[in-house]
Amino acid sequence: FPGLTDVSISEDIPVEGEITVPVGSHSPDEDFSTLDEPVRDTIMRDLKAVGKKFVHVMYPKKSSALLRDWDLWGPLVLCVSLALMLQGGSADSRDDGGPQFAEVFVIIWFGAVVITLNSKLLGGTISFFQSLCVLGYCVLPLTVAMLVCRLVLLAGSGTISFIIRLVVVIAMFGWSTLASTAFLADSQPPNRKALVVYPIFLFYFVISWMILTFTPQ
């Protein structure tokens, strides 16, 4: 370029500007820093997410919201409340009583981990924490069943109350299993679906058994 050979910049013109290359798309965190917003907003957002997932569990349809934005707050709250409600059973201090708090906790979390490992080993494509999230949230119907059972037991513990409890627990057990299967079955290889669903069935069956055999003092 012949005209540019004698172009020069005089030293007293300040040179300014940015050297860094601007990033094409801003990541959401940059526009969305949780550090500046009020604490109430942060908490409400998480609570709304948990609440939305509860609604998804109660009306299971094929939505990927539960899987995509997994969180473990809901399962923790459900597990703790279920374990607390299972306390106060008869003969708590003796060896023959119902499950202790730690036993319920361990059964739920260890059981969920084992089922997740099982489905991953069989070739499932779901991630570890997504599966834990789904299994934990689907304990919600059984927690509701436990609440109903305790209320029924306040009224009396005869045969009628047992029949009511049995029906409620069976219905909620079916609901839990169907809800978790609806969310998890798609990510499994097609000729191994039964192998993955069966441990889930066993898991909720054990929890239902613990709920049904709860006898107050």
Partner 1 sequence: HSLSCNVLFAEFDDAADLLAANPDAMTISIDEPVEIPKNQHSHLQEPGREEDDELLGTNDSDKTELLAGQKKSAPFWTFDYYQTFFDVDTYQVLDRIKGSVFPVPGKNFVRLYIRSNPDLYGPFWICATLVFTVAVSGNLSNFFIHLGKPTYHYVPEFRKVSIAATTIYAYAWLVPLALWGFLMWRNSKVMNIVSYSFLEIVCVYGYSLFIYIPTAILWIIPQEVVRWVLMIFSLCLSGSVLVMTFWPAVRDDNRRVALVTVGTIVLLHALLSVGCLAYFFDAPEVEVPAPIIPAQNGTVITKSQ
| The total number of residues written for the chain in this structure | 217
Stretch that binds partner 1, among 42-50, 75-83, 146-154, 209-217 (CB under 8 A): 209-217
* Residues sharing a CB contact under 8 Å with residue 120, sequence separation 6 or more, in sequence order: 126, 128, 131
Q: Pick from 32, 101, 129, 198: which binds partner 1 (CB under 8 A)? A: 198
Phi, psi (deg, nearest 5) at residue 37: -90, 160
Size of the site for partner 1 (CB under 8 A): 30
91: left (phi over 0), alpha (psi -120 to 50) or beta: left
91 vs 167 by CB, closer to partner 1? 91
Q: Pick from 47, 58, 84, 122: which binds partner 1 (CB under 8 A)? A: 122
Considering the complex, what minimum distance in angstroms separates the CB of residue 201 from partner 1?
Answer: 10
Q: Pick from 7, 11, 95, 102: which binds partner 1 (CB under 8 A)? A: 95
Does 45 contact partner 1 by CB under 8 A? no
Does 184 contact partner 1 by CB under 8 A? no
Does 192 contact partner 1 by CB under 8 A? yes
Q: Pick from 46, 155, 213, 216: which binds partner 1 (CB under 8 A)? A: 213
Does 74 contact partner 1 by CB under 8 A? no
Q: Pick from 48, 51, 205, 216: which binds partner 1 (CB under 8 A)? A: 205
50 vs 152 by CB, closer to partner 1? 152
Q: Pick from 43, 47, 91, 155: which binds partner 1 (CB under 8 A)? A: 91
Does 98 contact partner 1 by CB under 8 A? yes
User: CA separation (Å) from 198 to 48, 112, 193, 208, 210?
Assistant: 32, 13, 9, 15, 19
Q: Pick from 54, 89, 147, 186: which binds partner 1 (CB under 8 A)? A: 89
89 three-class SS: strand
Q: Which residues bind partner 1 (CB under 8 A)?
A: 89-91, 94-99, 103, 118, 120-123, 191-195, 198-199, 202, 205-206, 209-210, 213-215
